[in-house]
């Protein structure tokens, strides 16, 4: 007998028919003798609807009340799935985040999980032999007693945190794809489903544009060594595919040099021209952006011939582009830069693979291949297991296909 956490996303529970299908997946695991906790998202589109209602009610809404509203979507799904399970003779009850409790910080709208008490869930398994159906994406701030939400994709994080808290043997994340692919199959028809991906690789993929898992859920899985599968809820419940296992690096026998190609359209480029080249200037630029919770990614500095000024280029999320420019324009008298330029028609394309640690020249091959296709690179960043290039958006598909073929991923 194993203890499992199964998580189902919004498309998997989009309507009553799909909720009944989810119930059959859960039934399969229960009849195999497993103890099962299920974490659910809101039905597809419901969170967006609730967010729109909040904005309609008050454009400058109270973030605490916003959380109270948007957390309700998952409550509906949890109750409906519990009913669907009971209807097929599977004992089940729904749980709200605060009832467990899932304790979080008080950063409403983007709270971080600080602890999960799995005692009540374990008692439900042992005493009542029931499936725990848990509303994902939410928790409670202990000191204020207020409901909090974890941000977009937070149900993935809820599921992994609960799996760690109850000592689950594995956490199955069910979505609308049957695993993690070498790249986006919509762009590269030869993209292959991966049997296994290391935690570090998945963390990079998630942060660099792959939408399969939420970044914080991968972080939690890596820290707590939670064996995590990505699977499809649209498989036959009686005969599902194994999906992709996210695991420790040592659990992967054969390691590709490059495991996957990711891309992110959520990038904007800012360039400051003729910035004074002296100590403290970089801090004066980036500290105000950090104080405004604007994440800065790729940074390139080019010192001019006179060594008195420098050009500084960096990227920010597209949604923060105008706000970042406004902050810098306001600080221009103090910073003393000559001009500010920007572009939003850019994309970051990345290659990820733990095999890069032991292979030289991996990035250099990519730069030559992209140059041969006439693709200009605006910026480059590298780490031990990945490199990223910033390019014009119109070349996205060509760049992804080129790199996918270059590293032999077409025929994995």
Cα–Cα dist 206/186, whole Å:
17
pTM of the model: 0.84
Rounded Cα distance between 331 and 36, Å, is 54
Residue range 182-235, pLDDT digits in tens: 999 889 999 999 999 999 999 988 887 777 888 889 999 999 999 999 999 999
Distance, in Å, from the CA atom of 104 to the CA atom of 113, rounded to the nearest integer, reads 4
What's the pLDDT score for residue 304? Answer: 64
Nearest CA-CA partner of 406 in 257, 263, 303: 257
List pLDDT tens digits, range 127-183: 999 999 999 999 999 999 999 999 888 999 999 999 999 999 999 999 988 899 999
Could you tell me the strand order of the sheet in which 244-247 lies? 92-95, 131-135, 35-40, 3-8, 170-175, 228-232, 244-247, 196-198
As a whole number, the mean pLDDT across the chain is 91
CB 213 within 8 A of CB 202: yes
Ordered structural domains, the chain, with CATH: 3-251 (3.40.1160.10), 255-412 (3.30.2130.10)
Burial class, 157, CB count within 10 angstroms (exposed 0-12 / middle 13-18 / buried 19+): buried
- Any residues with CB less than 8 A from the CB of 137 and at least 6 apart, and which? 41, 42, 71, 74, 97, 149, 150, 154, 155, 158
pLDDT digits (tens, 9 = 90+) for 278-300: 778 888 888 989 888 888 988 88
Q: What is the mean pLDDT of residues 303-325?
A: 83
| DSSP codes joined into one string, 346-403 | EEEEEEE-GGGGG-SSHHHHHHHHHHHTTPPP-EEEE-SSEEEEEEEGGGHHHHHHHH
Give the rounded percent of residues in the chain with a pLDDT score beyond 90. 67
């Amino acid at each position: 007998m194993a203890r499992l956490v199964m998580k189902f996303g919004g498309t998997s529970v989009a309507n009553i028919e799909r909720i009944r299908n989810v119930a059959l997946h859960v039934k399969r695991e229960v009849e195999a003798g497993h103890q099962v906790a299920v974490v659910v998202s809101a039905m597809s589109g419901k969170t967006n609807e609730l967010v729109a209602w909040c904005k309609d009610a008050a454009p400058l809404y109270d973030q605490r009340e916003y959380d109270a509203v948007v957390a309700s979507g998952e409550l509906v799904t949890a109750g409906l799935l519990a009913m669907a399970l009971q209807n097929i003779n599977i004992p089940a009850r729904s749980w709200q985040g605060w009832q467990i409790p899932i304790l979080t910080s008080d950063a409403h709208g983007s709270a971080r999980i600080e602890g999960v008490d799995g005692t009540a869930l374990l008692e439900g398994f042992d005493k009542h032999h029931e499936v725990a159906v848990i509303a994902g994406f939410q928790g409670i701030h202990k000191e204020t007693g207020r409901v909090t939400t974890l941000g977009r994709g937070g149900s993935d994080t809820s599921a992994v945190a609960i799996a760690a808290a109850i000592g689950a043997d594995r956490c199955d994340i069910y979505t609308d794809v049957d695993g993690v692919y070498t790249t986006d199959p919509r762009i590269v028809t030869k993209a292959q489903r991966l049997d296994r991906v290391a935690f570090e690789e998945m963390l990079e993929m998630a942060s660099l544009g792959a939408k399969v898992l939420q970044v914080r859920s991968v972080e939690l899985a890596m820290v707590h060594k939670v064996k995590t599968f990505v699977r499809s809820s649209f498989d036959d419940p009686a005969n599902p595919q194994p999906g992709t296992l996210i695991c420790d690096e040592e659990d992967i026998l054969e390691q590709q040099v490059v495991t996957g190609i990711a891309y992110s359209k959520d990038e904007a480029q800012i360039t400051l021209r003729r910035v004074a080249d002296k100590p403290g200037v970089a801090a004066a630029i980036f500290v105000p952006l950090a104080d405004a919770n604007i994440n800065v990614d790729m940074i390139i500095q080019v010192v001019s011939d006179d060594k008195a000024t420098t050009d500084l280029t960096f990227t920010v999320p597209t949604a923060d582009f105008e706000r970042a420019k406004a902050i810098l324009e306001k600080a221009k008298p103090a910073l003393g830069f000559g001009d500010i330029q920007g572009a939003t028609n850019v994309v970051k394309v990345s290659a990820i693979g733990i095999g890069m640690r032991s292979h030289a020249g991996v990035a250099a091959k990519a730069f030559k291949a992209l140059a041969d296709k006439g693709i200009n690179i605006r910026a480059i960043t590298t780490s031990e297991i990945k490199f990223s290039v910033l390019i014009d958006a119109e070349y996205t598909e060509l760049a992804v296909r080129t790199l996918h073929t270059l590293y032999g991923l077409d025929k994995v």
